[in-house]
Amino acid sequence: MAQISNTFETFDAIGNREELADRIYNITPEETPFVSLIGHSPIKTTHPEWQTDSLATPDTTNNVMEGNDWTYSALSPTTRVGTYAQISEKTIIISTTQEKTDKAGRKSELAYNVAKSGVELKTDQEVILLSNQASSAGSGNGATNRTLGGMRAWLTTNDSLGASGASGGFSAGLVTAATNGTQRAFTKALLDANILSAYNAGGSPKVLMVAPYVKTVFSTFLDDANVVPLRSQANTTGKNTLIASAEMYHSDFGLISVLPNRQMARAGATIARNAFLIDAEMVAMGVYRDIKNHKPSKTGDSEKRVLNTEYTLCVKNEAAHGVIADLFGLSAST
């Protein structure tokens, strides 16, 4: 039907009240699975160091004659490793007028943004700790910043690499970044080989941390001919569930929890391309200064806040962990 002439519509009106919900909807993931898993450990300097050691390879020819006159073997010293604490921050400045203005969804613009920035700072830490970032001692007068060595950069003993990839690791007092290789699909064979490598090295990782897409690939291992079928009795009185996922992997060397980390995907392919086998007892976030809300001196008609923290990653023995690197981490081709 046609509209009658001169119908007064909302398009013509002046003075209709707007409707703005008194709530802000934010579904951006804010959890930090890696930091939650490894926990915090206080550090006393910006350059924490520790020592690692290993036993000699078993000697299958260890036999001596009667009355043997002893000779003494050379002893190997421990290995001294370390990293540097880096500073991360978020800054906020809100005009006094905006802080006083009546707003929808929050009473205080300042308080809202301080809380939001605190969450953002924690998610920054999450992905930096998992990254392939090299460590740096920095230099004076603000020329270069100290940086921590990320988890991917530390791992060398049990790093499964794509074609042309190369290990990073600790050398000459610094953690160097790994060289990315050709990306490939995540497979059960890659996972089994990395678990075996970590076990032979003495590690006992209990968690496999992956980007969400890699978790979906892991669930397809249910179709592998070498995997025991996952079955459950049908419910004859209610609704049945089609099981298409798995959260645990019972390997030859123990049970491993598969933990998806949405921050790995949010950070992009540089983080999502790695699947980490983690022994939580052999890694910690070293905290020199925990997150603090600073109130800088007032210099204008505004309110300022700075959130900052100083922290690092203490990989107590990199051989306890593993990484399956160079995976398609975001999709079947990225």
What's 86's domain CATH number? Answer: 3.90.1690
**What is the pLDDT, as a whole number, of residue 222?**
83
pLDDT at 235 over 80: no
Q: Are 181 and 324 in contact (CB under 8 A)?
A: no
* Weakest mean pLDDT among 4-13, 106-115, 257-266: 4-13
| Number of domains the chain contains | 1
Q: Is 238 exposed, middle or buried (0-12, 13-18, 19+ CB in 10 A)?
A: exposed
The upper half-sphere exposure of residue 117, i.e. CA atoms within 13 Å in the direction of its Cβ, equals 22
- How many CB atoms lie under 10 A from the CB of residue 164? 10
From 219, 152, 231, select the one nearest 188 (Cα to Cα): 219
DSSP single-letter state for residue 12: T
Asked if 312 contacts 71 with a C-beta cutoff of 8 angstroms, the reply is: no
Q: Is 257 part of any domain?
A: yes
pLDDT for 44 beyond 90: yes
pLDDT at 307: 96
Which residue intervals of 135-187 are DSSP H helices? 151-154
Residues in the chain: 334
For 267, phi then psi, to 5°, come to -75, -15
Instruction: Say if 17 falls within a structural domain.
Output: no
Predicted model pTM: 0.92
pLDDT, residue 24, reads 80
**pLDDT for the residue numbered 236:** 72
* Tokens representing residue 172 in the block: 């000459």
Q: What is the pLDDT of residues 268-318, one digit of tens each?
A: 999 999 999 999 999 999 999 999 999 999 999 999 999 999 999 999 999
Average pLDDT in the 170-195 region?
97
Q: Which domain holds residue 180?
A: 33-50+79-232+242-324
User: Per-residue pLDDT for 6 more than 90?
Assistant: no
Instruction: Tell me if 252 is assigned to some domain.
Output: yes
